């Protein structure tokens, strides 16, 4: 993979990108887990197909290319057959992805505290038969602490792990992933969105995405398409839109779309835990990125 950084977890391996034949116009959706991946896939689908009636389940149209839990050969063959503009999912940061001319790389960031609580809910919703050996949690080698505040501290303090037995979920990994886009956000092929902005103005963010992808849609049409990507609309179509439905990943597909609510961490974290968190995140990111990650918090 040349000078690219390799990211390898119990469920993915960025080296699989070596096998993908890019086309001009391809879209790579690269996000940290639980930061709005499926949301961004749906927005891309709405723009590419210009309809909310998708031809196949979203996970088939936009597969997780470097997941090791799927048949990579079948995924690559399916993508090769696609004649529409392709948009592919990955949780590999930008510094682990091949840089190709004519390809757009898109990321969504989120308040890390919301992301980790959403991840914990997602892990609890995974069907036991779908869990790989070693588990998916931030500390796969050892049982996580029973106390949720202590689990939060473990997540916040964990070192970045580009190659590990875990899913790579830690504060350090999330910040690093977003930073690989943040540091290149001025480049025309690179686009960084925030989960909070999608919640606050979905039509406006869809309009921005259309500009990034050079897709021409009228303002009226963008309003109509955005209405199909609200949280409630997507939750009602969970059997079509949730990732992993083909592999029976979830106990409940509907519960994959739990609430979409931000700020639940306020109900869990006391001032000491928050101070600890802020000291840690300040070690991992420059002040402007810290501020961008936490748009609803005045400090």
Q: 31-80, pLDDT tens digit by residue? A: 999 999 999 999 999 999 999 999 999 999 999 999 998 999 999 999 99
The active-site residue, picked from 84, 91, 194, 278, is: 91
CB of 40 closer than 8 Å to CB of 88: no
d(CA 223, CA 203) in angstroms, rounded, equals 5
Number of domains in the chain: 1
d(CA 114, CA 6) in angstroms, rounded, equals 27
Q: Global pTM?
A: 0.89
d(CA 163, CA 167) in angstroms, rounded, equals 10
Residue 60 lies in a domain: yes
Residue 220 lies in a domain: yes
d(CA 26, CA 23) in angstroms, rounded, equals 6
Residue 5 lies in a domain: no
Q: What is the pLDDT of residue 187?
A: 97
Residue 7 lies in a domain: no
User: Which phi and psi (to 5°) does residue 60 adopt?
Assistant: -85, -40
Q: How far apart are the first and last CA of the chain?
A: 41
Residue 4 lies in a domain: no
CATH of the domain at 138: 3.40.50.300
Residue 153 lies in a domain: yes
Edge-to-edge strand ranges of the sheet holding 104-109? 87-90, 27-30, 104-109, 190-194
Residue 91 annotated in active site: yes
Q: What is the 3-state secondary structure (H, E, C) of the chain?
A: CCCCCCCECCCEEHHHHHHCCCCCCCEEEECCCCCCHHHHHHHHHHHHHCCCCCCCCHHHHCCECCECCCCHHHHHHHHHHCCCCCEEEECCCHHHCCCCCCCEEEEEECCHHHHHHHHHHHHHHECHHHCCCCCCCCCCCCCCCCCHHHHHHHHHHCCCCCECCCCCCCHHHHHHHHHHHHCCCCCCCEEEEEHHHHHHCHHHHHHHHHHHCCCCCCHHHHHHHHHCCCHHHHHHCHHHHCCCHHHCCECCHHHHCCCCCCCHHHHCCCHHHHHHHHHHHHHHCCHHHHHHHCCCCCC
Q: What is the pLDDT of residue 263?
A: 78
| pLDDT tens series, the chain, 299 aa | 458 999 998 889 999 999 999 999 999 999 999 999 999 999 999 999 999 999 999 999 999 999 998 999 999 999 999 999 999 999 999 999 999 999 999 999 999 999 988 877 656 556 576 665 555 544 445 567 788 889 899 999 998 776 654 455 799 999 999 999 999 999 999 999 999 999 999 999 999 999 999 999 999 999 999 999 998 898 888 888 777 666 566 566 665 656 566 778 888 899 999 999 999 999 999 999 999 999 987 44
Q: What is the 3-state secondary structure (H, E, C) of 99-128?
A: CCCCCEEEEEECCHHHHHHHHHHHHHHECH
Residue 3 lies in a domain: no
Residue 1 lies in a domain: no
Which structural domain range is residue 271 located in? 14-293
| 213-247 tens-digit pLDDT | 999 999 999 999 999 999 889 888 888 877 766 65
């Amino acid at each position: 993979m040349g000078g690219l950084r390799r990211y390898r977890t119990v469920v993915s391996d960025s080296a699989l990108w070596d096998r993908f034949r890019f086309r001009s116009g391809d879209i790579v959706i690269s996000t940290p887990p639980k930061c709005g991946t499926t949301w961004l896939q749906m927005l891309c689908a709405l723009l590419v197909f210009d309809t909310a009636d998708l031809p196949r389940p979203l996970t088939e149209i936009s597969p997780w290319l470097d997941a090791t839990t799927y048949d990579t050969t079948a995924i690559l063959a399916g993508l090769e057959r696609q004649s529409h503009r392709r948009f592919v999912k990955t949780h590999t940061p930008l510094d682990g992805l091949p840089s190709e001319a004519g390809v757009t790389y898109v990321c969504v960031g989120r308040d890390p505290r919301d992301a980790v609580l959403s991840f914990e809910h997602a892990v609890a919703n995974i069907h036991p038969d779908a869990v790989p050996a070693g588990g998916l949690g931030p500390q796969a080698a050892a049982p996580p602490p029973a106390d949720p505040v202590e689990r939060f501290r473990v997540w916040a303090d964990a070192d970045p792990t580009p190659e590990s037995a875990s899913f790579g979920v830690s504060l350090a990994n999330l910040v690093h992933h977003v930073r690989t886009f943040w540091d290149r956000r001025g480049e025309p092929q690179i686009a960084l969105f925030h989960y909070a902005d999608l919640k606050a103005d979905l039509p406006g963010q869809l309009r921005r995405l259309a500009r990034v992808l050079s897709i021409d849609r009228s303002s009226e049409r963008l309003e109509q398409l955005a209405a199909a990507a609200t949280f409630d609309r997507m939750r009602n179509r969970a059997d079509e839109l949730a990732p992993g439905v083909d592999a029976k990943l979830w106990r409940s597909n509907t519960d994959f779309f739990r609430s979409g609510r931000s700020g639940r961490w306020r109900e869990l974290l006391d001032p000491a835990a928050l101070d600890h968190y802020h000291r840690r995140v300040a070690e991992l990111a420059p002040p402007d990125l810290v501020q961008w990650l936490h748009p609803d918090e005045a400090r």
